[in-house]
Amino acid sequence: MNKDNLRKMAEYIRTIPENLFDMQIFRAPGNYKEVECNSVGCVIGHCTHLDADNVLRNYTRFHDDSIRFHKWAEDFTEMGMYSASFQWCFDSEWADVDNTPEGAARRIEWLIDKGLPKNWQSQMEGKASLCYY
């Protein structure tokens, strides 16, 4: 896990207005010549802005200009997409429980500072109290 990059993500996602944030919404295919599109998106979609030159150089498909978001996120965070830590921070299931930039930032910071909660999945499913509030 790359704690420095995760901390950058937590700090940056707090700057995104709530009306442009949704854990369940991904950018539609289109032109990604500008990494930050100012549309509704999740943590990963917005945070590509933190690494824009690298994203455009190494994570953009040339045939349709789409960004390989998950591959970038795995490399930037040094967490596998199917790992519990990745799901705790970025899973779309959070849209039904805590669909806010502040909540996303707090989950990332919790992981960095305290590790993955034992009941992380129950929290994500809305079956347990959120530890980070």
- Considering only residues 7 and 67, tell me which one the structure prediction assigns the higher pLDDT: 7
- For residue 123 the two structure tokens come to 């929290």
Residue 132, in any domain of the structure = no
Instruction: Indicate the pTM of the whole model.
Output: 0.90
Residue 52, in any domain of the structure = yes
pLDDT exceeds 60 at position 79: yes
As a residue count, the chain comes to 133
- Considering only residues 30 and 92, tell me which one the structure prediction assigns the higher pLDDT: 92
**Are the CB atoms for 89 and 105 separated by under 8 Å?**
no
Residue 81, in any domain of the structure = yes
Nearest in space to 32 (alpha carbons), one of 10, 9, 62: 62
pLDDT at 36 (0 to 100): 65
Rounded to whole angstroms, the maximal C-alpha distance in the chain is 45
Give the chain's domain count. Answer: 1
Give the integer Cα–Cα distance in Å for 60 and 33. 9
pLDDT at 33 (0 to 100): 61
Residue 103, in any domain of the structure = yes
Helix (H, G, I), strand (E, B) or coil at 60: strand
pLDDT exceeds 70 at position 30: no
